């Protein structure tokens, strides 16, 4: 009985194709740009904590998830999750009814990263600041 022979050429060709595909995929991912995101402003409204993010890429401003937590001088109070509007603005409803008007408190905010496709990425951002 004769042993079947494996042909080396089809196997080598398949390995070369797999290698080229891997290089093409990594080059596409590496070719994507990363855009900086910053939390440009945070302030206190009548019954809100509001802010705005900024980025050199306009597509990075809208529909970004912002997670927040407030530290009013005791246990932290979660502000929750909100999304930015198309211009990068966001707002949390906060009940300041019994708070003195001069109350200062710390807010921690985190903006999640956002993929734009084609390997492009809007960076996430963090900020801890005092709000007056």
pLDDT band at 103 (very low <50, low <70, confident <90, very high): confident
pLDDT, tens digit (0-9, with 9 covering 90-100), for 51-85: 999 999 999 999 999 999 998 877 888 999 999 99
Q: Both tokens of residue 81?
A: 């999750």
pLDDT band at 130 (very low <50, low <70, confident <90, very high): very high
Q: Reduced to 3 states, what is the DSSP secondary structure of residue 13?
A: helix
- φ, ψ of residue 67 to 5 degrees: the values are -105, 140
Q: Both tokens of residue 114?
A: 């956002």
On the question of pLDDT at 106 being above 60, the answer is yes
Which residue stretches of the chain are H helix?
A: 8-30
What CATH number corresponds to the domain at position 54?
A: 2.60.40
Q: Reduced to 3 states, what is the DSSP secondary structure of residue 114?
A: strand
Residue 77 placed within a domain? yes
Residue 48 placed within a domain? yes
Residue 11 placed within a domain? no
8-state DSSP, 23: H
Residue 70 placed within a domain? yes
Cβ contacts of 57 within 8 Å, gap of 6 or more: 35, 116, 122
Residue 68 placed within a domain? yes
Residue 121 placed within a domain? yes
Average pLDDT of the residues in 110-121: 96
Residue 10 placed within a domain? no
Residue 3 placed within a domain? no
Specify the pLDDT at position 72: 80
For 86, the domain range is 34-131
pTM higher than the cut 0.75: no
Q: How many domains would you assign to the chain?
A: 1
Which segments of 1-132 are extended strands (E)? 34-35, 38-44, 48-54, 65-71, 77-83, 89-93, 105-111, 114-117, 120-122, 125-131
């Amino acid at each position: 009985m004769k042993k079947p022979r494996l042909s080396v050429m089809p196997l080598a060709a398949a390995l070369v194709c797999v290698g080229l595909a891997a290089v093409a995929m990594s080059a596409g991912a590496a070719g994507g740009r990363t855009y900086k995101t910053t939390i440009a402003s945070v302030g206190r409204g009548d019954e809100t904590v509001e802010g705005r993010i900024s980025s050199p890429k306009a597509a990075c401003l809208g529909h970004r998830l912002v997670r927040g937590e407030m530290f009013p001088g005791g246990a932290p109070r979660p502000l929750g999750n909100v999304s930015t509007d198309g211009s990068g603005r966001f707002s949390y409803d906060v009940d300041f009814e019994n708070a003195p008007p001069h109350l200062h408190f710390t807010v921690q905010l985190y903006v999640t990263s956002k993929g734009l496709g084609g390997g492009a990425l809007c960076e996430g951002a963090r900020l801890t600041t005092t709000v007056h």
